[in-house]
Every structure is written in structure tokens, then in C-alpha cells.
Amino acid sequence: LILDDWGPEKLNDEQRRDLLEIVEDRYEKRSTIVTSQIPVDHWYDMIGNPTIADAVLDRLVHNAYRIELSGESMRKHKVLPAPDTTPA
């Protein structure tokens, strides 16, 4: 399971419960990849409920491989080439 671009908005009650259920079901059974522009130390606040946040983050972070990237966005450097307007 890949949770891509996770955390731009705080979770509501239903989303918190769903996330906890998913993470609990997958814990130590299946891989879960999380990508986010939000630093991990802010995820607790994004989840909202302290009890659920503790449970979710304990399962996500325990035995996790963590890769943090730094630097400018690669999208800023991606420029599309101009179309060829030379007559045929």
C-alpha cells in the first residue's frame, strides 16, 4: 500500500479510524509506504486525536526505513522543449 502525498490536511474522525484500521491490519504483515511533504514530527498533529496518533505512528514508524530528501523541487527544473515551428 502506498499513501502518497499524505498529510496536507488534518484528518477528521472517520479518516482517523480508517487509517488506524488499515495500519493495524497491515502491521507486521504487509509493507506500507508513506510519502509526504510534511515532516514526520508533524504527523502527530495531522492525525489529531492523541490516542489514535500514538497507535498509528507507533505502527508506521516501528521497524520502518526512513528516507528524507532535501533540496529544491525537481519540478522547478523540468522545462518542456518548445515545439518545432520550422516549415516542412
pLDDT in tens, 63-78: 888 888 888 877 776 6
77 in a structural domain: no
53 in a structural domain: yes
pTM above 0.75, yes or no: no
Whether pLDDT at 85 is above 90: no
Confidence of residue 79 (pLDDT cuts 50, 70, 90): low
Residue 17 Cα to chain centre, angstroms: 17
Residue holding cell 511533504?
A: 37
Helix (H) or strand (E) holding 34: strand 33-34
57 in a structural domain: yes
User: What is the number of residues in the chain?
Assistant: 88
Task: Determine the structural domain holding residue 50 and report its residue range.
Answer: 2-70
Q: How many domains does the chain have?
A: 1
pLDDT in tens, 10-60: 999 999 999 999 999 999 999 999 999 888 889 999 999 999 999 999 999
pLDDT for the residue 83: 72
